[in-house]
Homo-oligomer: A and B are copies of this chain.
Amino acid sequence: MGGVHADSNAIACALGLTPSTVRQDFSHLPIRGAPKRGYNIRQMERALAGKVGIDSEKPAIVVGAGNLGRTLTLRTDLRRYGFLVRAIVDVDPAIIGARVGSLTVEDMSDLADIARTRDIEIGILAVPSSSAQSAANMLILAGVRGILNLTFARVVAPRRVFVVNDAVISSLLTLSWAMNRRRNATTARA
């Protein structure tokens, strides 16, 4: 009845999983399939969007207005998933006041005020690794609930604040390791 459907096998192929895994995972979500037809795609989208939180707005602040911070602030696709960069701050007086898209770089010492008045939920760390923890501490004090850590430094936070690490360098290292493994395996076989 109406709506486009996909069965667990098709979904599994698209994601590189087994049909079993797909059905097992869906059983934990408000997603019901129909025998002989599969899963309604619209329903899947809604359930997954709700689970991940794409469907709600999540105001964010970018800390650090270097190349990385500015690049991130200018990315428009974040908005599509509910992430709103409402402020960008830096410590460098030479950078404070500069325009970044529709925002102006503000003084990092105003971070707490900014976070409170603009309902900031997420802090994005784009500072040098050496100041990652101190910047994180300011975010934590300012009451953010989540931190995306783009530095290479490990950041500690109380349990109520979630930290996700996404340093490009660590992905590169994963790649390096995988390439290395292949080479070693080949060598060993030879």
Residues of A within 8 A of B (CB): 51-54, 58, 67-68, 70-72, 74-75, 77-78, 81-83, 121-122, 129, 145-148, 150, 152, 160, 162, 164-166, 168-169, 171-180, 182
Residue of B nearest to A121 (CB): B179
Q: In the complex, A54→B175 CA distance in Å?
A: 11
Which chain B residue lies CB-closest to A164? B175
Please determine whether B176 and A52 come into contact, CB atoms closer than 8 angstroms: yes
CB distance B52 to A180 under 8 Å? yes
Contacts of A174 in B (CB 8 A): 164
Task: Report how far A122 CA is from B177 CA in the complex, Å.
Answer: 12
What's the nearest-Cβ distance from chain B to residue A99, in Å? 15
Across-interface contacts of A77 in B (CB, < 8 A): 129, 152, 169
Which 5 pairs from chain A and chain B are nearest by CB?
Answer: A166-B171, A53-B180, A53-B176, A67-B71, A162-B178
Given A162-B182, A168-B72, A169-B77, verify A146-B122 contact (CB < 8 Å). no
Of A70, A77, A78, A172, most buried by chain B (CB within 10 Å of CB) is A172
Question: Can you spell out 23 A-B residue pairs with CB atoms less than 8 angstroms apart?
Answer: A51-B177, A51-B180, A52-B177, A52-B180, A53-B173, A54-B176, A67-B74, A68-B71, A77-B152, A78-B169, A81-B169, A122-B172, A122-B179, A146-B178, A146-B179, A147-B175, A148-B168, A148-B171, A160-B182, A162-B179, A162-B182, A164-B174, A166-B171
Question: Which B residue sits closest to A166, measured CB to CB?
Answer: B171
* Closest-CB distance, A35 to chain B (whole angstroms): 29
Residue of B nearest to A15 (CB): B154
Q: In the docked arrangement, what's the CA distance between A141 and B84, Å?
A: 38
